[in-house]
Structure formats: C-alpha cells, structure tokens
Amino acid sequence: MLLEFTVGNFLSFKDKKTFSLEAGSITEHKENLVKEGKFKVLRSAVLYGANSSGKSNFIKALDFMVTTIKNSSKLNSTDILNVKPFLLSTATQNQPSFFEIIFLSENKMIRYGFEIDNKKVHAEWLFISNNLKKEETYFIRTIDGIAVTEVFKEASTIIPNTRDNALFVSTLDQFNVEVAKQVMGNVSLIEVKSGIEHTNSALMTNLLYQRENHQDDLKKFIYRLNLGFTNFHLDENEFKTFHKVYDNKGSLISDFEFSLKENESSGTNKIFDLAGFIVLALKFGLIVVIDELDAKLHPIITQEIIKLFHNSKTNPHNAQLIFTTHDTNLLGANLFRRDQIWFTEKDDFEATDLYSLLEFKDENGKTVRKDRSFEADYIRGRYGAIPYISNFQEL
C-alpha cells in the first residue's frame, strides 16, 4: 500500500510537499482504513482546489516518478529525462527535482527516492524497514557516486553498469536483484489515469471482458451502476449495449442493439473506459490515481465508486483510490475522514501548497471538528483552496 509521496521543485511545487495516506488519530469512518502492522493506512484520498492550483500537477508528479522508475533502464546515455522544475524562481530553475515514495509491503516499509535534472541523477536512496522495525540503509547515491551498505553488498558489482542518467534501482532490476524487484513491484501497482482523456484506458476493459475469470467481475461492476441498458457484449473490439423495445401498448417486443461509442452518453463511455482498471484494482489491490474522477459522472455514480474502495467486502485486497475533483457534493456525503480530504492552493509566488483537512487550522489556531459541514465550509472559503472571482468593476 502507498503510505507517502513527496515532491519538490517540479511544475508548480517549489518546496517539498508530502501527501500522506497514514491515518491520523481520529475516530470517524474506521472502515476507511487498513491496519498494516503498527500503521493505519487510508483506503482513499480526495484532492480539492481551484483551477490551476496544482491538483493535476500533483497527479503529474506521481505519474512522472512512476514512469521514470519504469523506463529509466530503457534510456540511452544521451536521452533527456524531461524534468520540469519550478520555473518562477531563480532559486529552483536550474536545480534538480525531488521525488520520494514510501510503500508498506509484506511487513516491510520501503522508502525510495531520487533527485534528478534533465541530464543526470543527482541523488538516490533506498531504506527498508524489515518487519516494520528500525529502518536500514541499503544504498545512498550522491553526485560523487553510489555507496551500498553491508546488507546490500550484492549490489556493489552493478555500480559500474549504472549510467549517470539512469536510476540505480532500475539498473538493479535489470540484473534481477531481489530488493530492486520488490521496489519495482510496488511501483507497478500504481495506475495513473485521466478522468477526461480516458479512451486510451479502454483496452484494459476489452481485455478483461475476454477473460472468463475477469468477465463476471467486470459485468457486476457495470450492472451495479445501472446505466440504463439491460445487457452488453463485446463485438469485434467494440462494446454493444442492449435496450428494450416496446410497442404502442407498452408490451415488450425485442431488444435493440446500440453502439457504446455512438449511442451512449459520454459518462457511460467513461465508466466503460475506466472499468477495467477499477475492477483490477479491487481484485488485486492496485493503487488507482485518477485526475478529475467526477468529470462526466453523476455524483451518485462517483460516490458508489468510492464506496467500493471503502468496503472491505468489495475491496478485500486493500486497493487504494486517489483522485482530484471539483464535486463538493462528496464533502457533504459523509464519505471521508478529515485525513482523507486534501487541498491544493497557490501562494503569492504561484507555488502550490498541499495540506489535509486534518492538519488545517483556522486563524485562531483551531483544528476542524468532525461534525462540521465540510461542504458548506469549503464553499465559503473557510479552508482556502477556492478560486477568487474578481468583481467586474475591478477588471
């Protein structure tokens, strides 16, 4: 499970900001968390903020880290790493970007991170806490080289094979080093998807439908949402839906076949496109990250998807859902704990701040009580992270 993600000097994130799925010491919605040894981990988190506040940049940062780890070993020595530092400060424009991620896996806590610019890796580190006890150092990389510790001495022979613009952990994975495989295995659990441009996700839904051991799960998910058709099937890689046809007396005559893409709503198409990854996540414990989950969807549909992740019966393998949204109805639906609600807001220098409702304090230094109306308070601007609309006279 994902425990933490930290990013700094990337896109609108100037300073290091940490997003945490470790549950706080509060009592509401205990069903929304999972116990992993001494840790309590949240099953989901939602991010709110004004347009251009950094919500999507947070998703892009996590996606960048995951993609970089997966693809690092495939690059040539002259390839550019496509890092995008915070450009609105002379202090950061030419500095490396920072990424760190923490997983809980098989009674271990894995903390891995790196600092990179477009040309090379400036720093890299791996710490592992076996049996969730004291953290041990496995390797530390600086601009001067890579140092491995005694517990990871088998990695020392691979140091000469590591390019300046390649991650050490990705290189180790190429040489089948077990510890590196554990890191890569956890990273591979993260699936980042767009809630707006989602057609490229449809292939997974098609593949699942063609697998007998997954088709029933896919159908249960689709039918659960009651999207208006009576049946559906895959015909030459295109989904068809069936609707009932009645005569003028109201008697059922037949079923009529529609093309999903041509005849069903954009919301229904979105559900089909993302269904494969949602079903896989719930079945195998993946971490699904969706930018603008609510786009094109009715609020009740969005709520139902969230509830699937919160319910231990529908989510027995502790999948996690992280998403951005503008749908304030979710705040009033009694779905989330205070530590599951996060906000992004830009400061006067256009740098993104990231904070949770649990850690938010008002001007009097008071925290938010669990019996507050989160939706009403947010719309009123009590927690910040909302757009400022100028009066016409001010323009």
Query: What is the distance of C-alpha 178 from the center of its chain?
Result: 26
Does residue 170 surpass a pLDDT of 70?
A: yes
Q: In what order do the strands lie in the sheet with 136-142?
A: 17-20, 2-8, 97-105, 108-116, 121-130, 136-142, 145-148
| pLDDT for the residue numbered 110 | 97
- If pLDDT is split at 50, 70 and 90, which confidence band does 393 have? low
Q: What angle is formed at CA 95 by the lines to CA 351 and CA 359, rounded to 5 degrees?
A: 35
pLDDT tens digits for range 141-169: 999 999 999 999 999 999 999 999 999 99
- Find the mean pLDDT for residues 93-98: 97
Residue 70 lies in a domain: yes
Indicate whether 251 and 108 sit together in one domain: no
Evaluate if residue 395 carries a pLDDT over 60.
no
161 with 222, same domain? no
Alpha helices in 40-177 (DSSP H): 55-71, 168-174
- Which residues contact residue 118 at a Cβ distance below 8 angstroms, ignoring those fewer than 6 apart? 80, 81, 82, 83
- Is 216 in the same domain as 359? no
Rounded CA-CA distance 60/41 in Å is: 23
The amino acid that residue 375 corresponds to is E
What is the rounded CA–CA span in Å between residue 121 and residue 219?
45
Q: Please, which residues bridge with residue 344 across strands?
A: 49, 354
Q: Which 3 state secondary structure label does DSSP give 63?
A: helix
* Residue 85, SS3 per DSSP: coil
Say yes or no: 64 and 156 in one domain: yes
**Contact (Cβ atoms closer than 8 angstroms) between residue 369 and residue 338:** no
Question: What's the number of domains the chain is made of?
Answer: 2
- Whether residue 314 is contained in a domain is answered as no
Tokens of 17: 């900001």
End position of a domain, from candidates 257, 284, 311 = 284
Strands 231-235 and 17-20 come out as: unpaired
Q: Residues 191-201: what's their mean pLDDT?
A: 94
Domain range for 245 is 210-284
Query: Are 129 and 260 within one domain?
Result: no
Question: What backbone phi and psi angles, to 5 degrees, belong to 28?
Answer: -75, 150
The per-residue pLDDT for 364 is 83
Q: Of 234, 261, 284, which closes a domain?
A: 284
> Residue 383's pLDDT is what?
94
Give domain status of residue 304, yes or no: no
Q: Clarify whether residues 249 and 362 are in a common domain.
A: no
Q: Are residues 17 and 138 in the same domain?
A: yes
- According to DSSP, residue 367 is labeled B
* Whether 86 and 172 share a structural domain: yes
pLDDT at 390 over 80: no
Cβ neighbours of residue 125 closer than 8 Å, sequence gap 6 or more: 111, 112, 113, 114, 137, 139, 140, 141
Strand partners, 156: none
Span 25-62, pLDDT tens digits? 999 999 999 998 889 999 999 999 999 999 999 999 99
In a shared domain, residues 18 and 137 = yes
Q: In terms of domains, do 174 and 218 share one?
A: no
84 within a domain of the structure (yes/no): yes
Question: Would 313 be classed as within a structural domain?
Answer: no
Same domain as 362, residue 241: no
| The residue count for the chain | 395
pLDDT of residue 363: 83
Confidence of residue 84 (pLDDT cuts 50, 70, 90): very high
pLDDT at 259 over 60: yes
pTM for the model stands at 0.95
The region, left, alpha or beta by phi > 0 then psi within -120 to 50, assigned to residue 202 is alpha
Is 305 inside a domain boundary?
no
Chain CA centroid to CA 311, Å: 19
Q: Which of residues 256, 284, 312 is at a domain's end?
A: 284
Going by pLDDT thresholds of 50, 70 and 90, the confidence category of residue 132 is: confident
Please report, as a single letter, which amino acid is at residue 221.
F
Determine the pLDDT at residue 106. Answer: 87
User: To which H or E segment does residue 267 belong?
Assistant: helix 266-284
Q: Are 273 and 199 in contact (CB under 8 A)?
A: yes
Based on the domain organization, do 157 and 23 belong to the same domain?
A: yes
Please report how the helices 212-224 and 202-209 are oriented relative to each other, as an axis angle in degrees rounded to 10: 120
The mean-pLDDT minimum among 87-91, 164-168, 381-385 falls in: 381-385
Per-residue DSSP letter, 133 = -
User: How many CB atoms lie under 10 A from the CB of residue 369?
Assistant: 7
The answer to whether residue 339 is domain-embedded is yes
Considering the domain boundaries, does residue 299 fall inside one? no
pLDDT band of residue 365 (cuts 50, 70, 90) is confident
How far is C-alpha 276 from the geometric centre of its chain's CA atoms? 16
